[in-house]
Structures are given as C-alpha cells and as structure tokens.
Amino acid sequence: MQHLLQQLLQLAHSQSPLPCVCLRAVKTHQVKRFEAEVATFSFPLQGTFSYRENDDWVTVNPGEMLVVPNARSLDIEYAPCKVSGEFIALSLSLAEEQLEAARLLLAAPASNDTGRVVAVSIGELLAPLNRWIQAMTAGIRPLSLHAMVEVVLKLYAMGCHGLMRPRDPGLAMRIRRMVSKDPAHLWHAAEIEQQLGLSGATLRRRLAAESTSLRTIIIEARVAEALRLLMTSELPVKTVAGRVGYSSVASFSKQFSDRYGIEPSGFR
C-alpha cells in the first residue's frame, strides 16, 4: 500500500494533464456546504481530509480514499501534514459514462439509496488503482477509465450501492453546470430561459420548488469554480475573481466568504 501512496504522490506532482485535480494547502481550511456535483473519489496523500455530512466529523488519512457516492452537500476540512507542513490530495469526479458502464456490467436494479459518504482503505483496491495509475502515467485514457470502472464495481461489492443511483439532476443543477462552463460570462435570466426553453415565470416557480433562485445558483457556481482555482493553482486572488466573473475583488471576497465561511485570501 505504501508503494501505491508513493505512486499517487508522484502523480500529484506530475506536470502532465490528468483526469483529476491536485488539491494543495499550507493551512487548515474548513469549507462549509461544499457541493459535490457527481460521484467523487479523493485521496489524501499528505495531511488529512475531514468531512461532516450530518453531525459528526470523520477524518480520512493517507492510505484511505474518500468516497462521495453521488451529488450532495457536506462540510469538509483540509489539514496539512505536521511533518511536511503541506496538504496534498488527488480528487477525481466520475463521468456518468463510467457509472453507466458499471450498471450495465452489474445488471442490477438501479438503486434509489443515496448511500453514505465513507472512507475505505486503498489496500482493498490495490489492483485496479495500480492499473489506473499506470494507464494515466502512460497517457492511455481509455484504460484509465476502464480501471476506474473496476474500482466502482469493487466498491459496490463492498456495499457502496449509492454509486449506482441514477443521476437525475434538477433544474438548479442543470443551470449550475451551464454557468460553471463559463463563469466569467455575464449571465442574464433571458439567456438562461431561452437555453432551457422555459418562461421566466416557470423558471422562477421551479427553482422556488427546489428552494433556490437564479441569482443564488449563479453566485454558487462562480464561487465553487473560484474554490477549485484557489486549491489547484497559484493564481492571485484578483485573477481568480476575474476568471469567475467579478470585476471587484471586494465583491468577490464577500460572496466567497458568505458561501464558505473563509476569505479567499485565507487560502494563500
């Protein structure tokens, strides 16, 4: 297992484009109501993850994989390693095609169970994770996707049935993904209504039924992309603000801290 951890750490330091993101921090950060939009696997390599979905905090250590089986909101905390002084993790969002492939291979009835967020030992997944790393290192994307499908199948056998729950994104999630693709765009209600084929009244009514609003969705999509940029790059806060559609750093900082409970400059 130690060898696998070293391989994952080498992958995190790789300059090659990867189908996952490397998260880094040098201070402990707590992010409130982090929105995982899809099934996500995260590997702490130096330091620890902690998460809280209901009441209790659970810590995920190097050698474990955090499994978020489907879209949900949870509080998370990153804490640097006491020896190196740095937090490093890899995080992978699963494509719907990978989950659909697993459903077809299992030929099992679709699960309505959302499942729980869990931490599992990577020792339980050594063979497919090794194949995944080898395929990504070699730049063979189809084999890396295939290896991750095998990981999903093994997790299902271990009881993570929530991974097989069909994704049925609500209207809010559809709009959020639309905005996330181009967060710097000046989004107007009329443009979104046209793209969705909905009248303004219908859009407002359906979003109210999901306990949200168009303005809230646009803000959350933008600051979520900002959080990703702050955790995966060394871009200045002003540059991050511009990339997600804010001309004012002060306005961006307020929206970010209102959402996550910490100033964006705190990540630096």
Label residue 234 exposed, middle or buried (CB < 10 Å: 0-12, 13-18, 19+).
Answer: exposed
Q: How far is CA 267 from the centre of its chain?
A: 17
Most confident of the following: 21-25, 28-32, 70-74, 118-122: 118-122
Give residues with Cβ within 8 angstroms of 200, minimum separation 6. 189, 190, 193
| Predicted local distance difference test score (pLDDT) of residue 189 | 94
Q: Closest Cα partner for 165 from 118, 105, 111?
A: 111
Binning pLDDT at 50, 70 and 90, where does residue 95 land?
confident
Summarised one tens digit per residue, pLDDT across range 19-67 is 788 888 888 988 888 888 889 999 999 999 999 988 889 999 999 999 9
**Kindly report the CA angle at 24 between 231 and 58, in degrees rounded to 5?**
95
Edge to edge, what strands does the sheet with 118-121 contain? 21-25, 87-93, 40-46, 64-68, 118-121
Sheet containing strand 29-36, edge to edge, reads 29-36, 72-79, 48-52, 58-60
- Residue-wise pLDDT for 221-256, tens only, equals 999 899 888 878 889 999 999 999 999 999 999 999
d(CA 250, CA 7) in angstroms, rounded, equals 41
> Phi first, then psi: what are they for 124, rounded to 5°?
-75, -10
Handedness of CA 114, 222, 8, 43 (dihedral sign): negative
Q: Which position has the token pair 């494509």?
A: 95
pLDDT at 109: 66
Rounded Cα–Cα distance for residues 76 and 89 (Å): 13
